[in-house]
Structure 1
Amino acid sequence: MRFLIISFSCLLLASMAHVAHADGMVVDKVYHPYVMPFEREVEWRLVSRQTDQGNVLAQRAGFGGAINDTMSLEGYVVGERDDNGDFGLASYEVELRWQLVEQGRLWADWGALFELEKQHTIDAYEATTGFLWEKEFGRTSLTMNAFLVYEWGADIDSEWETEFRLQY
């Protein structure tokens, strides 16, 4: 029954892709569904994307770890370069990754991701929820993420978006 509910939810996410309006962000991470007991993570990512206004350069620093055998909690601060070329705090995020099934138990390994982001200087929020899959084929693996994103706040238009990420 649980498998049917998750499968139906994924189909619903995929069917909503035609109403999404992309905001120009690049995919900088494909999430794996696994949570290792006692895992700790220190992360730094550099993201660059070209827009009509020029090159947007951002740095993301995070720290987190497993809170039990199936859940991991991480926090991030994001800095972006402003018009003067100086870096400053742009946003902060909290992210919960949940391993839904034991590795190797089903046809693919399943997980879920929940994320909340707040822009630092403006009233803009973003909530993301979605599913993470990974299937191993011998020495290779296929990882897929499907997300439903909602943006809201006084300083942005409220909208729904979908994202799909894939790594082989």
Structure 2
Amino acid sequence: MSQKGLKILIIVTVCMITLALLIGATYLYTKVFYTDPLESALSDIASIGTFKVEQLQTHSKIMVNFTVGEKLRSNFYLLLDQLKGQKNTNLENITIDLSNNEDTTLQSFLKRARLPVYEVISTGQFSELPLYFEVIKAEISVEYNLEIDNDFIFITATSGDNFAHMVINRGNSPLNVINTMGGEYL
């Protein structure tokens, strides 16, 4: 009877050790070796300086900081193409947080530019938007670049070497875009 008990104890011990090794190996693989396909795709985009992908309960949040002050539209659509190319990715469940480095001049320009953008979206008179921006530009010494397409309005504000981006959804795109500067919403 004691040898039978010893065999059972050895079998249980070996099973527990095997289970612990499998759990440990899985943990090591996910923390050290595994790279999320989305993260590896985003790291291949040269215009993205830093990014962070957070998996929340109902959706994913991608915080992106662009390193270039030009070509916001093409860089943003390159990001969207990478998102659309991922398996099991639904744009309705993704929030892009377009984060900018803190600059009070650029922040005040972009905050003041939001209201005219939403007014133009509601009225449909997009030709008036540059006129609004010229008034704001005269008060705040900031240069800007404005691009408009069927889905988004792209604004890049520059002051010296500093730049900040803002993307506003104007179409039927299911993508949610948040614009932040220094952790504060624009």
TM superposition score category, shorter chain reference:
0.3 to 0.5
| Between structures 1 and 2, the one with greater helix share | 2
| Between structures 1 and 2, the one with greater strand share | 1
Flag the structure with larger Rg: 2
Q: TM-score, normalised by structure 1?
A: 0.34
Q: TM-score, normalised by structure 2?
A: 0.31
